[in-house]
Amino acid sequence: MQEQLKQLIELQRLESEYQILEREKNAIPKKLRELERDYEQFTGQLTVKKQIYEEGSKEKVVFEQEIRELENQLSRRKRRLLEIKNNREYQACLREIDSIKREIKEKEDQLLELMTSLEALEGEIASGDKELEDRKKLYEEKKKELLGKSADLEKKIKRFESKRKKISQKIDPNLLKKFNFIKDKRNGIAVAPVDNGVCQVCHMNIPPQTFIELQKNERMHNCPNCQRFIYWSRFEERLEEVKK
Ligand SMILES: [Zn+2]
């Protein structure tokens, strides 16, 4: 029986390491998605800025055309003013000239405001483009790193699987079935050491008689509380000593 227990302990050790590897590997796709999302978010914001800049530039051209048109109107009115003899018409023309001047002033103010914001956007886009380059490099590096790590883990997992298979073959099929059943029900741990009469996984005391029998190591025992296979913790130390 001692030999079977040894195999179970080894199987559990492998199982625990295997679970860590699995968790690490399963976390990678999420990390990749986060990385991608960050990058896309930044690219998206930059694209929006460029669109706003594009639209603003078109608006600027329209403003400039409108101002030129108003200035033409103004020159025409000023020329007409010289030809008008009638005082009433003269006053009306003056009022028109004032109104056109006001309109020009308004458009020029708006144009100035637009140009200021376009200039700021231009700066933001230039630094954004530069940052995008850096981010792209970093994104690709990290992606490569994560994919490499995933492949590494995959290899390790394959090795664990073959080790696990080898050990499993040495274990009595009924025992193995029970091991897998407990492992699935009990959070991936089916074997627990007992130290000073306490199960080291569920932390409950086991009956003194069971503990005495456990130290004799003659047959398989299970924790009366968590049902895991149990062994005396010193037994593991002895196993280590034998290995040395
Ligand atoms: Zn227990």
Per-residue pLDDT at 1? 56
Categorize the per-residue pLDDT at 235 as very low, low, confident or very high, splitting at 50, 70 and 90.
confident
CA of 186 to the centre of ligand 1 (A): 10
Asked if residues 146 and 28 have their Cβ atoms less than 8 Å apart, the reply is: yes
CA of 53 to the centre of ligand 1 (A): 67
pLDDT tens for residues 59-75? 999 999 999 999 999 99
CA of 169 to the centre of ligand 1 (A): 26
pLDDT over 70 at 37, yes or no = yes
The encoded tokens of residue 165 equal 């298979």
**Angle 215-216-222 from CA coordinates, rounded to 5°:** 65
pLDDT over 90 at 240, yes or no = no
CA of 183 to the centre of ligand 1 (A): 13
Per-residue pLDDT at 217? 86
CA of 193 to the centre of ligand 1 (A): 9
pLDDT over 70 at 21, yes or no = yes
CA of 199 to the centre of ligand 1 (A): 5
CA of 242 to the centre of ligand 1 (A): 26
Which residues place a Cβ less than 5 A from the ion ligand 1?
199, 202, 223, 225-226
Average pLDDT of 38-65?
A: 96
pLDDT tens for residues 175-216? 999 999 999 999 999 999 999 999 999 999 999 999 999 998
pLDDT tens for residues 161-171? 999 999 999 99
CA of 190 to the centre of ligand 1 (A): 10
CA of 164 to the centre of ligand 1 (A): 24
pLDDT over 60 at 86, yes or no = yes
**Sheet with 221-222: strands ordered across:** 198-199, 191-195, 229-232, 221-222
Per-residue pLDDT at 71? 97
Beta strands in the chain (DSSP E): 191-195, 198-199, 221-222, 229-232
CA of 1 to the centre of ligand 1 (A): 20
Residue ranges per structural domain of the chain: 24-169, 173-243
* Cα separation values, 12 from 25, 67, 143, 163, 240, Å: 20, 83, 33, 12, 15
Q: pTM value?
A: 0.68
Per-residue pLDDT at 171? 94
Q: Find, among 214, 213, 194, 212, the residue nearest to 204 by Cα.
A: 194
How much of the chain is helix, strand and coil, in % rounded to 5? Answer: 80, 5, 15
CA of 222 to the centre of ligand 1 (A): 8
The encoded tokens of residue 58 equal 């078109």
Average pLDDT of 136-157?
A: 95
Average pLDDT of 41-59?
A: 97
Per-residue pLDDT at 3? 85
pLDDT over 80 at 51, yes or no = yes
Asked if residues 93 and 77 have their Cβ atoms less than 8 Å apart, the reply is: yes
| 24-169 is classed CATH 1.10.287.1490 | yes
Categorize the per-residue pLDDT at 234 as very low, low, confident or very high, splitting at 50, 70 and 90.
confident
CA of 207 to the centre of ligand 1 (A): 12
Per-residue pLDDT at 243? 61
Beta strands in 77-233 (DSSP E): 191-195, 198-199, 221-222, 229-232
